[in-house]
Chain A
């Protein structure tokens, strides 16, 4: 065996000049490979703890934090929650969640426009995952970038409020394609708006025929029971596996 390169030839010349001349090497690696590896590690950790994990995504101001506040307040007596809050700056959302008594950790991404699997992996270290049923990850308000980053969640939940316009699913198809559930929020405002609910749902199904849709208002409480049922079903399924 050649001791220089380990090949089967007994002896052959290694020309180091040649070795270091410009040459091409094949890579074939996905740009998200590292994030996907870390997301898979998160997912395995969450599965071992029988934890149901949701990644809440939306544009800023759709009501993610308000939905969480109401959900935690209504369900915390029967489900143990933990919340990761992602924002570019401030602890405002974490303070709102903390007021419900649920464990919360704020992640400030600074210049970053999304949470990634690495941030989430470290973000959950503070929580007692074994004693938690549901981890809610509230992503940075942004309908573009968070679509591409798997965090290890069971489902992405896209929140769209009726003040935003019904064609958002067509304008930001990656996000609505990546989501398994769409919550249409603020439906108590429908009488005052020209928002076409049926059209919005049709647009969402154009980019994702399998998407589940729940209409609700975390202000009036309408539709919240349906969302809670969906959540409870997810928790039950996790416990059975």
Chain B
């Protein structure tokens, strides 16, 4: 459910940047959403129509780049792709896995007119 408030943030941030550029409308918003961010991209898309209604962002296309989870083990020094958040290295089973990526939730760029 917190996608609703996060999507409101997406719209607020996008409008702030677009207004600074005197844009008349926002054509697209590029987002990065990590696998461990706690954000479901589909829920953001669903909430976006409601949050952007009657704003510069209404009708904008959402380009959501999903960032897969990536970890590095501080014991065996291997990098591994992660399907879920954990500190246990799937290769050597040490409790020493550092999360390198997957927690992102960011607006990367806007296309404005």
* Chain A contacts to B: CB under 8 angstroms: 20-35, 111-114, 116, 144-145, 147-149, 170, 173-174, 177, 205-209
Contacts and interface: CB of A to CB of B under 8 A. Distances in A.
A221 to B, nearest CB: 33
Contacts of B108: 26-28
Interface residues of B, number: 35
A21 B21 CA distance: 12
B85 interface: yes
Nearest to B95: A209
Contacts of B10: 31
B109 A116 contact: no
Contacts, number: 97
Nearest to A206: B88
B76 interface: no
Contact of A113 (B1, B9, B85, B106): B1
A13 B95 CA distance: 62
Contacts of A170: 86
Contact of B17 (A27, A145, A174, A209): A27
Nearest to B4: A111
B107 interface: yes
B84 A20 contact: no
Contacts of A22: 27, 111-113
A26 B13 CA distance: 12
Given A113-B1, A209-B95, A31 B9 contact: yes
Interface centre among A31, A207, A209 (most CB of B within 10 A): A31
A86 B17 CA distance: 33
A32 B1 contact: no
B56 interface: no
Given A24-B111, A28-B107, A35-B9, 6 more contacts: A20-B24, A27-B108, A28-B108, A34-B9, A111-B1, A209-B95
A31 B105 contact: yes
Contact of B5 (A29, A112, A206): A112
Interface of B: 1-2, 4-6, 9-10, 12-14, 17-18, 21-22, 24, 27, 36-39, 84-88, 95, 105-113
Q: Would you list the 7 A-B pairs with minimal beta carbon distance, nearest first? A: A145-B2, A113-B1, A173-B85, A27-B107, A31-B105, A22-B113, A31-B9
Given A25-B17, A27-B13, A32 B105 contact: yes
Contacts of A114: 2, 5
A25 B1 contact: no
A239 B69 CA distance: 40
A42 to B, nearest CB: 17
B99 to A, nearest CB: 9
A38 to B, nearest CB: 12
B91 to A, nearest CB: 15
9 contacts: A22-B112, A27-B14, A35-B9, A112-B1, A113-B1, A114-B5, A145-B1, A148-B38, A208-B87
A19 to B, nearest CB: 8
Nearest to B37: A148
Interface centre among B12, B36, B38 (most CB of A within 10 A): B38
B109 A25 contact: yes
B109 A147 contact: no
B109 A24 contact: yes
Nearest to B99: A177
